[in-house]
Structure formats: structure tokens, C-alpha cells
Structure 1
Amino acid sequence: MPHLRLSFDLRRPEFVTASSAELAATMLDICEWADGLGFDMTYFGEHHGAEDHYLPSPLIASAAAAGRTSRMRFRPILLTPLYHPIRLAEDIAVADLVSNGRMSPVFAAGYRKQEFDMYHVELSERRERLLEAVEVCKRAWTGEPFDFRGTTVTVTPRPAQYPRPPIIMGGAAEVPSRRAAHLADGFDPAEPKAWEFYRDESLKLGRDPGPWVPRSPTFLYVSHDPDAAWAEVGPNLLHAANTYARWIAQSAMRESEWYPPISSVDELRVGNAYEIVTPERCVEIGRELGPDGHLVLRPLFGGTEPKNAWASLRLFESEVLPHLEVPDPLPWTG
């Protein structure tokens, strides 16, 4: 049956009653719970200056979650151009050490101009800064001296993983997808089209990463009464969906058709990205994904209240998980 994963962004829109501290504490409790049940990875997103308090520090969140777990891997999605590359190499190395080698960060380029302005980084520099950071981390994690912008530097300590933590890249367009085949140890895109670009380029380089791995819907929630659950968590999902739509529309990508604005919870329900299902249907989804698929739960998505998040998770534990054979954790390349 599929690999089980978590994802968090710690959004807290104004209508949510739980505090940011309560959401963060719940996140750590959920990670500990999931680690004991065989979940093999947790994602943490990154955005800055968001009105809904979207998580800006995924490495810190990953390190905190590592202290509450023993086997689960962590995949912080880093807006790489916003980091000083030496400091990034140091921070990832320390996070890898405190997690005992369980970090597999995603080096992402970012797309929101407001975030680049906040860090006094030109959006036009994002590709150059991303490539520099990847190269610096690869060299830094050897523990050997190297030249950085004209100065010889040595980054210590080395990470726990040998020869280094995997460098994962993301992307949606063709150019970054193909670039990842040359630079990264793995690729973690959001859609099959990008994977096909990556696989095609990898095949040209003499290796086959395999076909696209099927994934569960963007949001998957388990309830005996889906209608009542939609009334509870629907506003959170609508907020998240429309925030992404606005960010994409305002971005340099201008591909707002990926995330069109949604006018109501009822409209959101007719799509297939956000699903609130019975335990029986969730079991079916897991079986449809197959042994290589990824079943990703986002229990606090859009600022979902902790009590609602736990209601779904406990039902998943008691009435879904017993019917799914959880596979061994994925290898380090993810």
C-alpha cells in the first residue's frame, strides 16, 4: 500500500481560534503520532510575510519535529535564493545532525516578488542564486576548503549523511525540470508533466528514475459525515485555495489557471483536489495509489482547528490504516 506522508504550512487565517503556538504544538504532536504509525516523510513549506502567518522557517520546524520522532524523514521546501549559501549549508548540516541523517531538503526557486523584495533580492537573480547555493552546499558538505566568491572557506561540521544529504529539486516548467536531472539527487514536482520532462532528461544522461508516482488529492480528510466535516473545515480549504490563486496571479509566472479563484465551499467540493471521504473510501484511495504511491495528509491545512485535525487522524488510525499495508520507508534519495 502507499507510502504515508504529512505536510504542514502552519497557516492561521483570522477566523481560526487556535493560536499559532497551539498549531505549532499540534504539529509536533502529530509528527510524533505519525512516526509511530509508519509515516515515512513530512514536508514543510516556506513563505514570508504572509497575512495568514504561513511558516517562514521550515528548517527550524523540521529540526523541532526531528526531536519528537525517530524514523521519519523531513523534506523542508526551501526558497533557496533568499538564503546566504554558506549559512544555508551550515543550517542544513546541523539539521541533518540533530535528526541523525533524516533531512532531504528541496531546493526551490520561489516565485513571489514580495518575498524577494522583503529580502532585498532581485527576482531576476533567482536562477543564478539557486544554482550557486546548490553548488556551494555540495562543496561545503565535503568538509574540505573551497573557494567562495574569492575567499577560501571551510564549512563545519559535516552533515550526518554520507557523502551528504540528498539535494532534491522541485519545479513545474520544462526548463527547471530538465535542469534538476543534471544538478539534483532527486526531483519532487507537483504534477506528472514536470516529472516527464525530468525523466526524459535523466534518460538522456543514462539513468531512469522510473514513472511518475501517483499521489493522493491535495487535501484528504476522513469523516463518517463528510457533509458535516465540509461545514467545519471547508472555510479553511477555501482560504488556502484562494491564497494560492492570488499568489500565482500576482507572480512572475502569471499562470493563474493552475489555481483559479474559488467562489464558495460548494464550488471547491465539486473538484477533485480537496476530498473529505468516509474511511471506506479512504481505504479505496490508498489501494488505488498502489505500493509506490504517496498518500499525503495535511491535517492542519488552511489553519484547520486542532480538534478537527485530530478527529480525522484518529479515524484514519482506527478505520483506514488497519486495511493498508504500510511499506518500508523510502531510500534516502526519496
Structure 2
Amino acid sequence: MAVTNLRFNQVTPGLDRADVASRYQATIEMAKFADKNGFDMVTLEEHHGAENGWSPSPLSTAGAVLGATDRIGVIISALLAPLYDPIRLAEDIAVLDNISGGRLSIVAGLGYRPEEYAGIGKDWKRRGKIQDEVIDTLLKAWTGEPFEYNGQTVRVTPRPFTDPHPMVMIGGTAKASVRRAVRFRLPFFAAAPLPELEQYYYELAAQEGFEGGFAMLPSAATKMVYCTEDPDKAWAEYGKYFLHEAETYAAWQTPDIESVMESSAHSVEALREEGIYACVTPDELIATAKSAGLTDAIILHPLCGGLPIDAGWASLQLFADKVMPHNKPE
């Protein structure tokens, strides 16, 4: 069986205010639907200053999703931790962890857009050091005990629900991120299928006597799925929305960054051929689910790139009706 995941980033080309509000509201309603229909995970993201409104406030969105659901997990992949005040971030995550009963996971990333740092008054050149300071502060804060911070003795309450702290993974595609994960005794989450980083993580952990950690890599076959009985028709009607998201994301990438989601397509036809975005029939998805391993995921992206909300609901409902009954342990 496959892990079933819903991805949301509330992209809204044109930023019509009513459309923006509708997409955030649809995010919550779709998450409730997924919760009731056995889906495993909701994935949220973080970017700032995007012309299409790409998900600037994932903690707020996570709170709304977690408050509206009972069992589904929420992962923020990635939370740009250096952009936050560490004490407030520790408090916010601890409260969300209590609200959800431990259903929130965080991938702490650095980001790759200097303008996001500039817009929030953070020093891009110090991002690695800031990340270290934030992670160190979070781990100390979540003990519930007093500790020294900026020359003052502080204490963060309440403690998280999860003991010893919520799931936090260090994200990245560089060895420096792996070293940070091992140094803080945390898991590592890669943004691309880079087995050399996975190997490096386990080698370094063994050298440091760190047991119990793990490295997670996305599959090279990762796809954003639109479930439909007629892929040709779906591509004809909705391909422009998939392309909008793909081109937006690709424009942010730099040569030193690797991502399983980076596209080189500049036409709907090329995007379809590339395979990162896929319109897939229920029968094909059933076959995928039956052959999947425990960590393989089917990722539905029901509001992708400004996709009409009713079209997103059609994909989600079809998947729940036709695919989910077959996505069970043998």
C-alpha cells in the first residue's frame, strides 16, 4: 500500500481576494475530507513575497487543518526556520503539538531565495549560523526548563505534547545539512533523491555514536497527481495550471539546489512528457498502490497552480471512491 498525501500551497494567480480566501477555505475542507476518508498526510510549504501568494504562513494553516481534523498528520516541508524568532517559534510549535495530540511534523529548511531573507530583515549570508541558533533554541525550549538565551534566563511553556519534542527533521541537499542533523541528533530529510547524502548521514551518525536517527529521501518517481478518468481531457483543461506552478518553482531554483520537483518544461506538452505532474486514472493508481512499498507515496495536489476548486474536488472524490478502497495492506 502507498502513503496517501495531499499537498497544498494555496497558489492563486492574480491574487483575487475572494479566490485567495476560497482556496484557504478549500484547503481546510479538503483536509477534513481526507481525514474522514483515511488519507495519511497533509503537506504544507513556505514561501514569501510570491506573486501568486504561495503559502507564506504554514503554521497558521497547519493550526486550522489540525483543529478541523482528528487523525491525519500534517507536515510542513519545509519551514524556513531562520526567518522566525526562535522563542516564538518554539511556543507556536509546542501549542500546535498540543492541539493536535502530536500530529505535526516539521522539516526545518534554509530556503534558497535571498529576497525572502531580505524581506524579513534576516542576513542571508548568516543563514547557516542562524539555523543552528534556532534549532539549538527549540530543543532547549521544549524541555520546559529554564535556559540562557541572549543573555537572559528564559523558560518556554507549555511543553509539547510529544516527548521529548515534536518531530523535527533537518532539510537540505548539502553535506552541511547532514552534519547539522547529526550534530543536533535529528533526522535528515532530503529534497531530492541523493543516496550519497543518505550514506553520509549514517556514516557520520555512526562516527558520532548517534543511534536512532534516520535519513529520508523522496523517490525519483515522485509525481503530483490529478486523479481523472480522462487524462487527455484533464491535461487539455488544466495543464496550464500545472505549468504555472512548475514554471514558478523552476524560476526560484539555482544551480546549487536540487529538488525532485524541479521542472525544465515551458509548455504543457513538455510538462506532460516530463512526468513530474501527472493526470492518472483510478486503475493506474490502484496498480501503483498495490505495488508500493511502505514509504512510497501517492501525492494528490488538488489546488495545483490555481486549479479550479471544483476540479480539485472532482479529483479528490474520485480517488477516495475508486482508489482508497484498494489501498489497504494485503
Q: Do they fold alike, i.e. is TM over 0.5?
A: yes
Task: Note if 1:319 corresponds to 2:322.
Answer: yes
**Map of 1:86 onto structure 2:** 87
Letter matched to residue 313 of structure 2: W
Q: Distance in 1 between matches of 2:35 and 2:234?
A: 26
**Map of 1:129 onto structure 2:** 130
Task: Note if 1:265 corresponds to 2:268.
Answer: yes
Are the equivalent residues in 1 in contact too, given 2:189–2:215 (CA < 8 A)? no
Q: What is the CA distance between 1:326 and its match in structure 2?
A: 5.9
Identity across aligned pairs (percent)? 37
Of 119-128 and 94-103, deviating more is 94-103
Residues 184-205 of structure 1: per-residue CA shift (max 9 Å, x gap): 5322222221434334433444
Task: Note if 1:143 corresponds to 2:148.
Answer: no
Q: Distance in 2 between matches of 1:227 and 1:265?
A: 12
Report the secondary structure of 1:188's partner residue.
strand
Q: How many residues were matched structurally?
A: 325
Residues 285-308 of structure 1: per-residue CA shift (max 9 Å, x gap): 222322332222221121221111
Letter matched to residue 281 of structure 1: E
2:227 alignment partner, one of 222, 231, 235: 222
**Map of 1:66 onto structure 2:** 66
Report the secondary structure of 1:47's partner residue.
coil
Q: Distance in 2 between matches of 1:256 and 1:275?
A: 17
Q: Distance in 1 between matches of 2:232 and 2:17?
A: 22
Q: Distance in 2 between matches of 1:224 and 1:157?
A: 49
Q: What is the CA distance between 1:214 and its match in structure 2?
A: 4.1
**Map of 2:153 onto structure 1:** 152
Letter matched to residue 92 of structure 2: D
Residues 70-103 of structure 1: per-residue CA shift (max 9 Å, x gap): 1112112211111111111111111112222222
Q: Distance in 2 between matches of 1:33 and 1:305?
A: 17
**Map of 2:51 onto structure 1:** 51
Closer, same or farther: CA 248–212 of 1 in aligned 2, 3 Å: closer
Q: What is the CA distance between 1:107 and its match in structure 2?
A: 1.0
Residues 145-191 of structure 1: per-residue CA shift (max 9 Å, x gap): 10001111111121111221122111112321343233253222222
Q: What is the CA distance between 1:37 and its match in structure 2?
A: 1.9
Report the secondary structure of 1:105's partner residue.
strand
**Map of 2:28 onto structure 1:** 28
Q: Which runs of 5+ in 2 are unaligned?
A: none
**Map of 1:7 onto structure 2:** 7
Q: What is the CA distance between 1:231 and its match in structure 2?
A: 1.7
Of 100-109 and 27-36, deviating more is 100-109
Report the secondary structure of 2:167's partner residue.
coil
Q: Which runs of 5+ in 1 are unaligned?
A: 328-334
Are the equivalent residues in 2 in contact too, given 1:143–1:156 (CA < 8 A)? yes
Give the structure-1-normalised TM-score.
0.89
Of 91-100 and 49-58, deviating more is 91-100
Are the equivalent residues in 2 in contact too, given 1:299–1:313 (CA < 8 A)? yes
Are the equivalent residues in 1 in contact too, given 2:42–2:75 (CA < 8 A)? yes
Of 289-298 and 137-146, deviating more is 289-298
**Map of 1:292 onto structure 2:** 295
